[in-house]
Amino acid sequence: MDNRPIGVFDSGLGGLTVLREILKVVPNENIIYFGDTARVPYGPRKLEEVREFVFSITHFLSQKDVKLMVIACNTSTAAALDALQARLPIPVIGVIEPGARTAVGHTANRRVGVMATRGTVESRAYDKAISKIDRGIKVYSVAAPKLVEYVEKGQLCGQALDGSIYDYIEPLLAKKIDVLIMGCTHFPLIEGRIAHLSGDNVKVISSAVETARDVKNILTKEGIAASGTGKPFRIFYETGKASHFYRVGKMFLGEEITDVVSIDLAM
């Protein structure tokens, strides 16, 4: 048994949707969540710049003696997962491989769609992850930045949102996809609308759900699950000074966030 915390980080608050799924499957684990709200969003940034941000965050989390790190951000996973796995002595998992693996298992016609941020799409991270499993599967991707804006404003339904979703999905449907990966941690909050507009013949995959399953499996395999005695703690850090962590964070996590520590990574 190992009661050290799990470190979960994202460019902002979207990674809380991943944490929400993690807490469903391993509710007894201690958690440290880090949101780089001062520099969000990562999606439009160059991957080299994102990689440096990620190295800074993981150095901070390492000082907190975390036992496992979860990169709850598609862009950060694309930018730095391999490097972190090579340099850190603890397990590090991202959100791309679990979603890609599940998509491969569900596609019947071997045509998979990905809806993500611009940075994730341009990195071709899902293409590469799926190709490692099955080179014969065709992957079609679209960047959907407007959907991130809708979610962050709390606009989770309505005609305008549906119109934007369909504008992004339509070219993927034209490619005859039968699986759609939500390649952004904001999208689980509008999964119902995405699934409805994708139609009954398309399986929508949440990388957050699949990543949570991987977390549970790693804790069991490595023998580092928490003992389950005592109330687990949740600590939230952010780099921003005037973010909407409490209001938006509750929407993403599904529970009240009572305390957020603001820090400066440059210190």
Domain presence at residue 214: yes
Return the C-alpha torsion angle 172, 95, 40, 179, nearest 10. 10
**7-42 pLDDT, tens per residue?**
999 998 889 999 999 999 999 999 999 999 999 888
Q: What is the pLDDT of residue 248?
A: 79
Same domain membership, residue 245 and residue 185 = no
The pLDDT value given to residue 1: 87
* CATH number of 197's domain: 3.40.50.1860
Q: Does a structural domain hold residue 174?
A: yes
**Domain count for the chain:** 2
Q: Are residue 135 and residue 218 in the same domain, yes or no?
A: no
Per residue in 128-144, pLDDT tens?
Answer: 999 999 999 999 999 99
Tokens linked to 255 = 């529970």
Q: Which residues are catalytic?
A: 73, 184
45 contact partners, CB below 8 Å, separation of at least 6 = 75, 119
| Domain end position, chosen among 187, 208, 229 | 208
Residue 170 sits in the same domain as residue 104: yes
pTM of this prediction? 0.90
Going by C-alpha positions, the residue among 260, 241, 240 that lies closest to residue 249 is 260
2 contact partners, CB below 8 Å, separation of at least 6:
67, 223, 224, 225, 226
- Indicate if 67 and 157 belong to the same structural domain: no
Pair 125, 176 in one domain: yes
Q: Which residue has the tokens 């002595």?
A: 89
- Give the domain extent around 44: 6-95+209-262
| Assigned domain for 32 exists | yes
Q: Nearest Cα to 236, choosing from 246, 247, 227?
A: 246
Residue 1, in any domain of the structure: no
Residue 171 domain flag: yes
Say yes or no: 192 and 218 in one domain. Answer: no
